[in-house]
Amino acid sequence: MFSAVSLLLLSILSLASHLSLSYAAPTTSDPCPPYEAFSRSRSNKNLSPGRHQLPLQRPVERCRKFPSPALEKTITRLRDKIADPDLFRLFENSYPNTLDTAVLWTGFAARDASAPDSSNAFDEDLAFVITGDINAMWLRDSANQILSYLPLLEPSDSPKTIAALFRGVINLQSRYIKISPYCHAFQPPPESNIALGTNHAYFLNKVNPPYDRSKTFDCKWELDSLASFLQISSEYHKSTGDMRPFIRYSWVQTVEVILDAVEAMRTATYTSDGHIAPSGYTMTGQTNRATETTSNDGLGNPVKWTGMVRSTFRPSDDATIHQFLIPSNMMFARCLEAASSIMAKIDSEEAKHLTDRMRTMAGEIRGGIAKYGIVHHPQFGSIFAFEVDGYGSHNFMDDANLPSLLSATMMGFVSPHDEVYLNTRLFALSEENPYWAKGPVLNAIGGPHLGPGRGWPLASIVRILTSLDGTGEEAKTEIMAILNTTDGLGLIHESITSHNVKDWTRP
């Protein structure tokens, strides 16, 4: 059973992982306001009776996108369990946010997706979950958003349930991955009749393999995107025991696509005879930001074979410096291991072969991390590097976005008591981490996506969830820091300047 504190942390992770900014208005004479404008105001809202007087930031009932009785019961149950009224208001605003604002459409797949027709639909659940104010679905973000509702997940064949929502995300992500396995954000499915989004980066970036912008919204190769699909698949199966999404539809074929795509990104830069090896993905961009493009005409900086997987971009959408991004390789290896237990239950020769491939690849990645990813730091001893190249170059830092080095125990890659992890945790939460933001407002890990000096509350939550402090003081300090930095809005910001509580990004 999840405690009140656990649910509070999940609620904050849910909000911080997607930072939803809008919700679609129903057909009515009194349309729902855009959530971006709604959430920035305290006017005419019920205020919590605590010191901060935080406003209720939920849309009115008719504007909520995915009503859930289980969610409402949970909020009611915890009203008397979270004693601080401001802290409860933070939970009340945060935990429902994905269901209230970001589940833009749920339904069923059409047999011929190019000619949607309700009479042609069958029983494959689909769910289109947006990120922010863009009508596009990010693989990583949508998985993280829905995984926040694991405490509410119960087996059910009925539509409009949390179980159907999980299945819908799994099934739609499966479709997306088969369309463009190296891409991370996708257009609405044709069954939804939602207008396609326009991404002007399409005209500035040169991506290979090319993608169809009527199906794919953006295409940055981020290893954690594919890991997220495996993660939500595994968590759904572990919680429900339901094998239907994995046997009835095309999950097995999608995993094969993942393994093939990833294998093409494990290669070294040079062949044994010194030629440039082909790469599964390349990308260059016309931009004034170094983090939005790559070196060497899209190949990235050279690497040697290590057993790990190259990731051109980080979870933050910033380009890697050294392509073996350790946190993403940790996550992918762990999720391969977990998802292989689903594959092992499928009775076919194809599934047996894929199970072996998944487990072998996971072991090779783990071996690569152990050999190349652990580097001596002059102050903290042996720690996990953030990025390496196999030649000996490494990048000492951590980033707030998940997966991070700090989150290695959360993803189950290492024990919370692992010595290298504990050294890494001390490093990540210190001024030796170049993206540690320090100040009177918030002390937290940030990242290059928004620049130095900005702490991310998301990283504070990960700090709480990885804490071994038996007194609870570390967790209490971080929770209060998050509560004190909403700028009176009762929502979690993407980042906050460590010296100015009013200088934040995204409500």
**Dihedral-angle region of residue 298 (phi above 0 means left; psi in -120 to 50 means alpha; beta otherwise):** left
pLDDT at 25: 38
- Residue 116 pLDDT exceeds 80: no
**CB neighbour class for 468 (10 Å; exposed up to 12, middle 13-18, buried from 19):** exposed
Residues across the chain: 507
Model pLDDT for residues 422-455, shown as the tens digit of each residue: 999 999 999 999 999 999 999 999 999 999 999 9
- Tokens 């190019």 belong to residue: 114
33: how many CB neighbours lie within 10 A of its CB?
Answer: 16
Cα 235 to the chain's mean position, in Å? 14
Contact 125, 159 (CB under 8 A): yes
Calpha distance 124→213 (Å, rounded): 24
Q: Helix/strand/coil (H, E, C) string of 195-256? A: CCCCCHHHHCEEEECCCCCCCEEECCCCHHHHHHHHHHHHHHHHHHCCCHHHHCCCHHHHHH
Helix (H, G, I), strand (E, B) or coil at 114: coil
Helix (H, G, I), strand (E, B) or coil at 122: strand
How many CA atoms lie within 13 Å of 225's alpha carbon, on the beta-carbon side?
29
Peptide bond into 33 cis (omega under 30): no
Model pLDDT for residues 462-484, shown as the tens digit of each residue: 999 999 999 999 999 999 999 99
* Strand stretches in 321-442, DSSP E: 324-325, 374-377, 381-384, 387-388, 394-395, 436-437
Model pLDDT for residues 189-239, shown as the tens digit of each residue: 999 999 999 999 899 999 999 999 999 999 999 999 999 999 999 999 999
Eight-class DSSP state of 451: B
Residue 291 is encoded by which pair of tokens? Answer: 């983090």
pLDDT at 63: 94
As a dihedral over the C-alpha atoms of residue 496, residue 501, residue 506, residue 507, rounded to 10 degrees, the angle is 130
**34 φ, ψ to 5°?**
-55, 135
- Would you place residue 134 in the very low, low, confident or very high pLDDT band (cuts 50, 70, 90)? confident
- Residue 15 pLDDT exceeds 90: no
pLDDT at 57: 96
Model pLDDT for residues 303-351, shown as the tens digit of each residue: 999 999 999 999 999 999 999 999 999 999 999 999 999 999 999 999 9
